[in-house]
Structure 1
Amino acid sequence: MAKQDLHAYSICEDAQAMLAKAQKDGVETVWDRLKAQQPQCGFCELGLSCRNCVMGPCRIDPFGDGPQRGICGADADVIVARNFGRMVAAGAAAHSDHGRDLVETLLAIGEGATTDYAIRDEAKLRRIAEEVGLDVAGKDVKEVALALAEQFYGDFGSRRGSVSFIDRVPAKRRELWKALDITPRGIDRDVVEMMHRTHMGVDNDAVNICLHAARLSLADGWAGSMIATELSDVIFGTPTPRPSKVNLGVLKEDHVNILVHGHSPIVSEMILAAVRDPALVARAKAAGAAGINLAGLCCTGNELLMRQGIPMAGNHLMTELALVTGAVEVIVVDYQCIMPSLVTVAGCYHSCIVTTSPKAKFTGATHIAFDMQNARQQAAAVVELAIERYKERDPARVDIPVAPVDIVSGFSNEAVLAALGGTAAPLIDAIKAGKIRGAVGIVGCNNPKVKHDYQNVHLIRECIKRDLLVLVTGCVTVSAGKQGLLVPGAADMAGPGLSEVCKALGIPPVLHVGSCVDNSRILQLCGMLATALGVDIADLPVAAAAPEWYSEKAATIGLYAVASGIFTVLGVEPPILGSKTVTDLALSGLEGVVGASFAVEGDPVKAADLIDTRIRTKRQALGLTP
C-alpha cells in the first residue's frame, strides 16, 4: 500500500505507525491480502453460490440472464437460506464449544481431577446451581461443581425441551418462541439439525430454514455463550470495575513481552500465574530484561482485562501489527479469530506463535498442549520460551509507537447492580426520567473492508451524545478505549442526562462488559429489565449494533439479538442479498414475527439515527417522553 494511503486504513495512531513500519520491513498485512483478492466473488457476496454437494458448485445469476436454479433445483432463496443457516451454525458451534470447555473445567474441579483450576466465586456457583433447580443444601463446593457441570452438559444434548437458563427469558418472550416453535432445545442438537436441514434434499423452504437459524442462535445466546460467561466467572472470578490501559503502548521495551490471543480464559489465566512466578521473573532478569510483561489481544485479552486488569494491546486488525513492533517475544493462542498469517509475520522478527489447543493448530507454530492436569507446568514452559526469545531480540527493530491510554473495565451485571445499590430500580428510574433514554450494545469485530475502528468509535460517540448508555464487548472495547471513551471523564462527551448519571455513579458512559461470549450478559440484563417492568424485551428502549463485523460468530450474535427482540444494525452487509425473500425477512419481516429486525447501515451517523428512532418509538409505546 502507498504511504499516503495509511490514514485510509485506520483511525488509530499506533496502527498507522505500524503499517508504515510493516511497509519498511517488507511485512505483508491483512490489508495487502485484501487488495490482492480484488475483485472478490460477487456470487459469494450475495450468498448465491453453493458447494454443498459435488453435483456443483452452482451459482445463481442475480441479473436473471443465467442459471436461476442449482443442479438440484434449489433457487436463490433456498441457496441463500442454506448458506446463512450454515454460517449461523458455525458461529453457534464456535461460541458453544468454548462454553463446553468451561463445563469440562468445572467437571474436572468437581471430580478432583485438577489442582491447577479452582472455584474463585463460590457464591455465584451456588446461586446459579439453585437457579437451574439443583439442591445444594449441605453439599461442599466440589459436589456443587460436579452437579452443575452435569446439568450444563445436558444443555448440549437432545433430551430436553429447553435449555437451563430459559427462565431468564421474560415470560412473554418464552410464549412467543413456543408459538413459533423456536424455543432453543439443545446446543448440539440444533447445530446438527441445521447441518441436516441444509443437506441437499431436506429443508427447501427458505423461511423455515431461517426460523431454525433463529432457534439455533438462541441456543448459543441463552445457553452456550451464557454458560461460558457464567462459568468463567465462577472459576476465574466475577469481574468488578478496575483500571487498566490499552493500545500498543502497553508493550514494554525493556521487558519480555507475552501476548495472549483468542477467546478462552482457561489458558490465559495460567499464563498470568506463570508470569507472576518469582522464579521465572528472576530468569527474565538474568536474561537482561527488567521483568515480564503480559498483555491481551482480542477476546482472550478481554477476559483477562475484565477480571485481572491486564492491559490490552489491540483488537483483531492489530494482531499482526503487534508483532511488527519487534517487541513481542511470544503470542500464545487458544482459538478463534487468530489469523494464520501470524506465523509468517512472527518469522519476520524474533517472535514465536505458541498454540495450545488440539483443535487449533497452526502450521509453523510451536505447539505446547494444555490440559487440566498440566496447565501450570505448560504455562511455565511458554514463559521460559519467551525468555529465550527475548535474548534473540534485535533492539534496532523495536518500535513501540504510542503511550498507553487509561481505561476502566469490569462491568459484569453483578458489578452494575452493585453500583446501583443492588437492584435495577435506579437504572429503570433513570430510563423513565429520560436521563438515560435507552441502551445500545455495540459489539463485534474489525473488518479490513471498513476503515479500522472508524464505524465502531463514531457510532459510540453518536449514541452517547443522544443520552444512550453504550455497552461494549470484544474488539469494540479496544476501539472505544483507545479514543478515551472507557473512563469516567468521557461523561463530558455524553448528553446532559447520561452525563449526569455517569458523574453521579463515577462510571464511563461506555461500559465494557466482556468478551464476545459475554454478549450473553447483555441478553440477561435485558431480560432482567423486561421482567421487572412486566414487558417483553422487544418493548424495551434498547438496540444493538455490529459496525465492523466479519465472523460467523457475529452473524449468530446478531440473529440471537433479533430473535430475542432487539433491533440490530449491521455495518457490513451479510451474504444474503441475493435472495429477496431472505433479505426482506431480515430487514422487515422478522419485525412482525419476533418483534425486531436487522438494518444495514455503514454510515455511523445514519446508523445512530436508526437506533435513535427505534428507541424513541419504544419509549413512546411505554408512555415515556421520547
Structure 2
Amino acid sequence: MAKLREIQDVTICETTAEMLKKARDAGLSTAFDRADEMSACPIGAKSACCKHCVMGPCRLSSKAPYDKVGVCGATIDTIQARNFARMVAAGTAAHSDHGREMSELFLSIAKGENPDYQIRDEAKLLAVAKDLGVETEGREVKDVAVEVAEICLSQFGQQHGPLKFLERAPEARFKKWQELGLLPRGVDREVVEMMHRTAMGVDQDYKNLTLGAARCALADGWGGSMVSTELSDIMFGTPKPIRGEVDLGVLDANKVNVVVHGHEPHMLDMLCELAEDPEMLAKAKEAGAEGINLVGMCCSGNEQLIRRGLKHAGNFMQCDAVIITGAVDGMMVDVQCIQQGLVSLSQCFHTKFFTTNYRCKIEGAEHIEFHGTENARQSGVELLTKAIENFKNRDASKVTIPDTREQMIGGFSHETINYMLGGTFRASYTPLNDNIINGRIRGVAGVVGCTNPRVKHDWVHYELVKELLANDVLVVQTGCSAITMAKMGFMQPEAAAKYCGPGLREVCEAVGMPPVLHSGACVDNSRILVALSEMVKTGGLGDDISDLPVAGAAPEYMSEKAIAIGHYFVASGVFTVFGVTFPAIEGTKWAEYLFGGIEEDLGGKWAFESDPNKMAALMIDHINKKREALGIHKKKERVLFDMEARRQLEV
C-alpha cells in the first residue's frame, strides 16, 4: 500500500489540513488519500494509449521508438491529437449543455411561462440584444427577451454560418478564423463532428485534428459558455463589486447548514430566495436551529458569490473537508465536478446528500429532481425542508468547524471593470490600456481552473499569482483558482500594498480595487474573452488579441473542461500555460506543434510547466515580448515643452 503524504505536503490551506487530520484519525478516506494510493498511468498521462476501436487498446509507450504505431498504423502524433481533441469535445459538451439549460430557462421566463424566476437586468438584456442584431427600439421587453432567447437557443443546433458572438472578437481575429476555416457553426455540430473525426479511420493528420479541435473549443468559449454567462447575468443579475466570505469557517454550528455544489446557478438562486423565506425560517426554528445558513461550493457557489455575496465554503478539493466538519445537514449537487466518494463520506456523518439533476445520479444518494422550467420553487422547498429535518440528527461530538474565514471582494464582470475604470459617463478600458502602455501595469494574466490532489493543494495558484503581482501583472480569476486566492486574502484592496510591484500597487490604490479580480465561475471565462476584445477595440495595444501583453494559466487543472477552455484561449491568440501534467510526449511532432508551431497559425500557443515560479517566468517573458513588439517596453522620458515646442503641437 502506498505511503500517504504528510498533511503539510498535501495542502497549504489550514482548514483543509485540519479536516484531513480529523479524517485520518477516524480512518476515513479522502480524494487526497486515494490520489496517493492510486498511481497515475504513465502511458495514459502522456496520451500514448488509443482505445478508439477494439483492435486495441494500443499502447505506444513514451519510451518506445517513435516509429512504433498502433494496429491500424496510427502514429503517436495521431493518437495524441485524437485524445486531445476528444478532451476538447467533452469539455465543450459539458459547458455547452450548461448553456443550453440556461437558454431553455431564459426562454420560459421570456414567454411568461415561469413565475419562479425573472429578468433582473434589463440593461444587460438590451446590450446582448444589440450584439445579436435584435431590434429593441419601441418594443416591449418581453418581445425582445423572447427573440434573444430563441437566437441563443438556436446557436446550439445551427448548421450553417458562424455563431453570433464571434462578431464580438476583433476584426483581425475573426478574419484569421475565417481564413483557416475555424469559424464554429452550431455548438452541437462541432462536438459531433469532432467525435466523428476522432473515430478510428477518419482524421489522421495531427495538425488537422488540432485545428479542428480549435473550432470545437471556440464553440465553447464564444458559443455555449458565452451564451450561459450572458443569459445568467440577465436572469440573476450582472455581477458588481460585492463583499463576501470564504473558507470552511462560514459554516454555523447553530444553524441548518446547507451546501450547494455544482455548476448551474438556477437551483442555488432559488435556494437563496427560500433561505430567507419566513416559512422556511420558521421550520428551521421549529427544528431547533437559529436559522438557515446557505453556502456555496465550487462554481455554483462562485455564481452567487459574485452576484449576492453568498458565503462560499471552498473549492473543488475542499468538498471532502466540508463534510468532515460534521456540520453539514444537507449537500445538494447538480452537474460537473461531483465526486462519487462524497456520498460514502456523507454516510459517515449525518449529512444528507442529494443529487438534483437527471444527468447526474449517484448510487447511494437521494435524488430529488430540480427543473428550473417547472416547479422550481416547489422542488427547492422540498430540498431545503429535508435538510432542516436532518438538523436534529446532527451529532455534536462529531462537529468541528474551523475558526477561519476570509473577507474578499468579487463581482468583476466586464461591465464592472468598464465602469470602475471610467465611471457612468466615461466607462472605458482606456485607463487600463494607458497604464499598460505607460508601464505601471506590465500586462494582464488570467489564472483559472481547478484544484488537483496530484499536487499540493492551493500552493501552485498561490505561488504563481504572488509572483505575477510582484512583477506588476494584474490578475483576473475564475473558478476554484479564484477561491484559493480569496482564502489567501488577495481579493482585498489592502493586498495591493502587500503583494504588488510599485506600478500595479499605484493603480490599485488609485482605483480602490484588489489586485486579483474575481470574475465568476469556470463558464465565465468568456468574460475574459470579451474584456480582451474590448482592450483591442480601445486601441493602443495592437489590432488583435494575439498582440496584447496578456497570458493565461490553469495551475492545477483536472477536468476536460479545462482543456477546452485552454484551447479556445490559444485559438483566440493567448499564450496559455497548464500545470500538474499534460497529455503530450515531449519531442513528438504533435507536441512541438502544440507548444510552438501552432502560434504561426493561431497567434497563441500552449506551454506546460508544473513549477509555479517557472510558470510565472514563462508568462512574464511572453508579456515582455508582446510589450517589445508594441514598442512600449521602454519607459518614455518626461519632456518639458518650451513655447516653441507647444506651437509645433498646435500646427
If the TM-score is normalised by the length of the shorter chain, which range does it land in?
A: over 0.9
Per the alignment, residue 13 of structure 1 pairs with: 14
Per the alignment, residue 401 of structure 1 pairs with: 402
Q: 1:618 aligned to 2:626?
A: yes
Work out whether residues 22 and 324 of structure 1, in 8 Å CA contact, stay in contact via their aligned partners in 2: yes
Residue 597 of structure 1 and its aligned partner are, at CA, apart by 1.0
Residue 2 of structure 1 and its aligned partner are, at CA, apart by 7.4
TM-score (norm 2): 0.94
For the residues of structure 2 that align with 1:386 and 1:300, how far apart are their CA atoms? Answer: 18
Per the alignment, residue 413 of structure 2 pairs with: 412
> What is the identity, as a one-letter code, of the residue corresponding to 1:454?
W
Q: 1:43 to 1:530 in 2, by over 3 A?
A: same
Per the alignment, residue 390 of structure 1 pairs with: 391
Q: 1:132 aligned to 2:125?
A: no
Q: Deviations over 1:518-563 (max 9, x none)?
A: 1100011001111222511000010000000010000011111111
Q: 1:36 to 1:2 in 2, by over 3 A?
A: closer
Per the alignment, residue 115 of structure 1 pairs with: 115
Residue 67 of structure 1 and its aligned partner are, at CA, apart by 8.8
Per the alignment, residue 181 of structure 1 pairs with: 181
Per the alignment, residue 478 of structure 1 pairs with: 483
Residue 45 of structure 1 and its aligned partner are, at CA, apart by 1.0
Work out whether residues 406 and 489 of structure 2, in 8 Å CA contact, stay in contact via their aligned partners in 1: yes
Work out whether residues 136 and 144 of structure 2, in 8 Å CA contact, stay in contact via their aligned partners in 1: yes
Alignment of 1:362-401 (within 5 A): 362-371=362-371, 372-401=373-402
Alignment of 1:142-161 (within 5 A): 142-161=142-161
Per the alignment, residue 424 of structure 1 pairs with: 429
Alignment of 1:458-469 (within 5 A): 458-469=463-474
3-state SS, counterpart of residue 139 of structure 2:
coil
3-state SS, counterpart of residue 313 of structure 2:
strand
Residue 506 of structure 1 and its aligned partner are, at CA, apart by 1.0
Unaligned stretches of 5+ residues in structure 1 = none
Work out whether residues 47 and 578 of structure 1, in 8 Å CA contact, stay in contact via their aligned partners in 2: no
Alignment of 1:417-456 (within 5 A): 417-421=418-422, 422-456=427-461
Q: 1:547 aligned to 2:555?
A: yes
Work out whether residues 13 and 402 of structure 1, in 8 Å CA contact, stay in contact via their aligned partners in 2: no
Residue 136 of structure 1 and its aligned partner are, at CA, apart by 2.3
Residue 112 of structure 1 and its aligned partner are, at CA, apart by 1.9
Alignment of 1:244-263 (within 5 A): 244-263=244-263
> What is the identity, as a one-letter code, of the residue corresponding to 2:462?
V
Residue 403 of structure 1 and its aligned partner are, at CA, apart by 2.2
3-state SS, counterpart of residue 6 of structure 2:
helix
Per the alignment, residue 493 of structure 2 pairs with: 488
For the residues of structure 1 that align with 2:108 and 2:180, how far apart are their CA atoms? Answer: 38
For the residues of structure 1 that align with 2:633 and 2:433, how far apart are their CA atoms? Answer: 14
Work out whether residues 300 and 515 of structure 1, in 8 Å CA contact, stay in contact via their aligned partners in 2: yes
For the residues of structure 1 that align with 2:67 and 2:627, how far apart are their CA atoms? Answer: 48
> What is the identity, as a one-letter code, of the residue corresponding to 1:410?
G
Identify the range of structure 1 (86-95 vs 584-593) with the bigger mean alpha-carbon deviation: 584-593
For the residues of structure 2 that align with 1:230 and 1:397, how far apart are their CA atoms? Answer: 43
Per the alignment, residue 328 of structure 1 pairs with: 328
For the residues of structure 2 that align with 1:307 and 1:579, how far apart are their CA atoms? Answer: 46
3-state SS, counterpart of residue 409 of structure 2:
strand
Work out whether residues 407 and 487 of structure 1, in 8 Å CA contact, stay in contact via their aligned partners in 2: yes
Work out whether residues 247 and 404 of structure 1, in 8 Å CA contact, stay in contact via their aligned partners in 2: yes
For the residues of structure 1 that align with 2:538 and 2:490, how far apart are their CA atoms? Answer: 30
3-state SS, counterpart of residue 444 of structure 2:
strand
Unaligned stretches of 5+ residues in structure 2 = 635-651
Work out whether residues 576 and 606 of structure 2, in 8 Å CA contact, stay in contact via their aligned partners in 1: yes
Per the alignment, residue 576 of structure 1 pairs with: 584
2:543 to 535, 548, 559: 535
Residue 579 of structure 1 and its aligned partner are, at CA, apart by 7.2
Q: Deviations over 1:19-70 (max 9, x none)?
A: 00011222110012112212x3222111111111222222113333699222
Per the alignment, residue 36 of structure 2 pairs with: 35
Per the alignment, residue 105 of structure 1 pairs with: 105
For the residues of structure 2 that align with 1:432 and 1:61, how far apart are their CA atoms? Answer: 48
Q: 1:523 aligned to 2:529?
A: yes
Q: 1:166 aligned to 2:166?
A: yes
Identify the range of structure 1 (296-305 vs 159-168) with the bigger mean alpha-carbon deviation: 159-168
> What is the identity, as a one-letter code, of the residue corresponding to 1:24?
D
Residue 625 of structure 1 and its aligned partner are, at CA, apart by 2.6
3-state SS, counterpart of residue 543 of structure 1:
strand
Residue 373 of structure 1 and its aligned partner are, at CA, apart by 1.8
For the residues of structure 1 that align with 2:314 and 2:565, how far apart are their CA atoms? Answer: 22
> What is the identity, as a one-letter code, of the residue corresponding to 1:577?
I
| Percentage of pairs with the same residue | 47
Work out whether residues 103 and 149 of structure 1, in 8 Å CA contact, stay in contact via their aligned partners in 2: yes
For the residues of structure 1 that align with 2:100 and 2:467, how far apart are their CA atoms? Answer: 38
For the residues of structure 2 that align with 1:368 and 1:311, how far apart are their CA atoms? Answer: 24
For the residues of structure 2 that align with 1:282 and 1:26, how far apart are their CA atoms? Answer: 38
Per the alignment, residue 586 of structure 1 pairs with: 594
> What is the identity, as a one-letter code, of the residue corresponding to 1:395?
A
3-state SS, counterpart of residue 488 of structure 1:
coil
Aligned length, in residue pairs: 625
> What is the identity, as a one-letter code, of the residue corresponding to 1:551?
S
> What is the identity, as a one-letter code, of the residue corresponding to 1:92?
T
For the residues of structure 1 that align with 2:253 and 2:176, how far apart are their CA atoms? Answer: 56
3-state SS, counterpart of residue 373 of structure 1:
coil
> What is the identity, as a one-letter code, of the residue corresponding to 2:413?
S
For the residues of structure 1 that align with 2:212 and 2:314, how far apart are their CA atoms? Answer: 35
TM-score (norm 1): 0.98
1:604 to 612, 622, 626: 612
Residue 201 of structure 1 and its aligned partner are, at CA, apart by 1.2
Q: 1:393 to 1:67 in 2, by over 3 A?
A: farther
> What is the identity, as a one-letter code, of the residue corresponding to 2:239?
P
Per the alignment, residue 640 of structure 2 pairs with: none
3-state SS, counterpart of residue 447 of structure 1:
coil
Work out whether residues 226 and 521 of structure 1, in 8 Å CA contact, stay in contact via their aligned partners in 2: yes
Work out whether residues 47 and 80 of structure 2, in 8 Å CA contact, stay in contact via their aligned partners in 1: yes
> What is the identity, as a one-letter code, of the residue corresponding to 2:442?
R
3-state SS, counterpart of residue 92 of structure 2:
helix
For the residues of structure 2 that align with 1:23 and 1:437, how far apart are their CA atoms? Answer: 45
Per the alignment, residue 241 of structure 1 pairs with: 241
> What is the identity, as a one-letter code, of the residue corresponding to 2:69?
R
Identify the range of structure 1 (566-575 vs 67-76) with the bigger mean alpha-carbon deviation: 67-76
For the residues of structure 1 that align with 2:461 and 2:404, how far apart are their CA atoms? Answer: 22
Q: Give 1 or 2 for the bigger CA radius of gyration.
A: 2
For the residues of structure 2 that align with 1:181 and 1:115, how far apart are their CA atoms? Answer: 43
Per the alignment, residue 514 of structure 1 pairs with: 520
For the residues of structure 1 that align with 2:201 and 2:606, how far apart are their CA atoms? Answer: 29
Residue 592 of structure 1 and its aligned partner are, at CA, apart by 1.3
Residue 3 of structure 1 and its aligned partner are, at CA, apart by 8.7
Per the alignment, residue 312 of structure 1 pairs with: 312
